[in-house]
Chain A
Amino acid sequence: MCEHIEKGAYFKIKKPRWTWEKIGGLQEAKIRLEEMVSLPIKHVKSFEKAGLRSPSGILLWGPPGGGKTVLAEAAANSAGCNYISVKAIEIMSEPEEITKMFETAKELAPCIVFINEIDALAPRREATSLWAEGVTRDAPVRLAPPSTTRILFAELDKISERHDIVTIGATYRPDVLDPAILRNGRLDRKIWVPAPDFDERLEILKIHLKKTPLAEDVNLEEIAKMTEYYVGADMVGLCREAAVVAIKEQGDDFKAVALKHFKEALKRVPPSLSPESLKKYEEILHEECKHRYMY
């Protein structure tokens, strides 16, 4: 079945397909999202009885390709609610689309609104602080005008009291984000989506290669060891490239993906991160206010 997409598709109402189990690693982020987003939607009454105000919105941040988009989708799946997803660039030029999107969310409530690359929609105006060398990919090409940012804030304020609509914004650079978006009632909580460590990389490999025939010389632990500085999307790309190399070689007689295919794939898919960029992320995290990460 294909989903219906309109031309210029401003925002997309999507059936969430990802689940927590399909995402490797990121244990901490999954738990936080479950607690901060899914649980309050599932058990509105209990939260009311406990007198616990759930977060109005969440800022997910971490390196590009680290799994922010799939996490948000899985949160919607876990909450069993509707899911609207949009990339900042898609609604940037027509501010009324932002209003329309939140109107739709109200109709579909309970609903999660996911705004990817939200830094382009609400940029810190004076932000020109240069990022570590080599992390220019995925940088927003254009930034929204202040009038658009104001509309976004107004819409976020309108739904801040509603427990059945949660906005999740994603960015890889919280330091270039307009701090006003983090005010109470807007995206008032943050979740850090880190680069996967060895165990998490191993888990990602296991999930993505679960049904892929592997030759005897393939030791996933060994591959996880070789993939330091790889993010989730790099790992998926690596698995796919290895399979392609194997099929190219064996054609219809394809039997299994062997170690040499992974070695070739490692050359084709370089890591997204570097020691320098990782250090920069950790510096930002270190400087952040810790309370924003608590419930």
Chain B
Amino acid sequence: MHPHDHSYLDVQKPEVSFDDVGGYESVKEKFKEMVVLPLKYPEALERANMAPPPGVIVWGPLGTGKWHLTEAAAKEAGANFVLIRGRECTDRPDAIHEGFELARKMRPCVVHVMDIDWLAPRRDADYSWEKGDESGKPDRFGNEEVHQAVIDEVSKVSSTKDIMTVGSCYRIDVLDTALDRVSMLGRKIYVPSPNRHDRVEILRIYLRDAQLGTGVSPEKIAEMSEYYVGWDLEALCRKAKLAAIERSKGTLKEVTMDDFAEALKAVKPWLTPKMAERYEQMYKMDCIHKYNF
């Protein structure tokens, strides 16, 4: 076991690559520019006299692949990858310090603070989508020390050129505005729920080893799975395969449309049409300049 393989903290050579994430071509481009390029070509940036982004906030619905994309960016940059799991650190300021300390020792490095809104919430954060619906609201928040630790550490490495901090959260309006400052996590990448094309590409990955019956194709399933995000689609494929195995009682030939119909009934998306609309609105209302390099 790796000495730092804790539930709250992971240090690793990144394994996921951009090819393992289906679709999202334009989002990947943003990652390649904001996260990869500054770590890969620091001297070229210096020659161009352009300061790298001090840090990046990656935000979008749950399960869209923010973590995978960040890990893939670290891999593409040839950097180390420190993952701090926000939910496990709400009372562990030492974990925050430990994570960033490791990053400083393992440069170049991408530090991914997952669920950063759990650790550094906005004081009057409003999580409601509509009346009574606070879907995705953290069940606990970082204590005072954790909150300050995150701010301090992000600030400390913001001008360090071979460490890139990526904070991820699922809403942009619930995060402490201190982190949002230009000098802190000054840039943003929005990872929206996958459109049809993205879903086709995501399904292609989850179905690549499966024998599919006539009429079953990633295109067909994508059409039937609006509002499903990456992890919904993964669960959907898994459920359909399982249904096929159960149905055939050990003599499985292929996964059929019936299996997918059953899976679609069992696996429902987290995102509602209303939430999807709110996401687009949130993005549209946000300052456009923070989404540029």
Contacts and interface: CB of A to CB of B under 8 A. Distances in A.
Contact of A212 (B32, B48, B176): B48
Interface in A89-148: 89-90, 92-94, 136-139, 141
Contact of A94 (B123, B159, B178): B123
B1 interface: no
Interface in B98-149: 120, 123-124, 144, 147-148
Contacts of A239: 50
B286 interface: yes
Interface in A59-90: 64-65, 87, 89-90
A251 B41 contact: yes
B48 A6 contact: no
A8 B21 CA distance: 35
A244 B50 contact: yes
Contact of B44 (A2, A3, A93, A250): A250
A272 B155 CA distance: 30
B177 A141 contact: no
Contact of A241 (B43, B284, B285, B293): B293
A55 B156 CA distance: 39
A233 B148 CA distance: 30
B216 interface: no
Interface residues of B, number: 40
A269 B173 contact: no
B255 to A, nearest CB: 40
A109 to B, nearest CB: 25
A124 B35 CA distance: 42
A136 B178 contact: no
Residue from A139, A233, A244, A251 whose CB has the most chain B CB atoms within 10 Å: A244
Contacts of B144: 7
Contacts of B41: 247, 251-252, 254
B45 interface: yes
- What range describes how many residues of A lie at the interface? 35 or more
A248 B33 contact: yes
B7 interface: no
A179 interface: no
28 contacts: A2-B155, A3-B155, A3-B183, A5-B155, A5-B184, A6-B151, A7-B144, A9-B151, A65-B287, A65-B288, A87-B177, A90-B178, A141-B173, A210-B49, A234-B289, A236-B289, A240-B50, A241-B293, A243-B45, A243-B293, A244-B50, A246-B48, A247-B44, A247-B45, A254-B41, A254-B47, A269-B292, A272-B288
In order of increasing CB-CB distance, the 4 nearest A-B pairs are: A254-B44, A9-B178, A237-B292, A211-B49
Interface of B: 32-33, 37, 40-41, 43-45, 47-50, 120, 123-124, 144, 147-148, 150-152, 155-156, 158-159, 173, 176-178, 181, 183-184, 284-289, 292-293
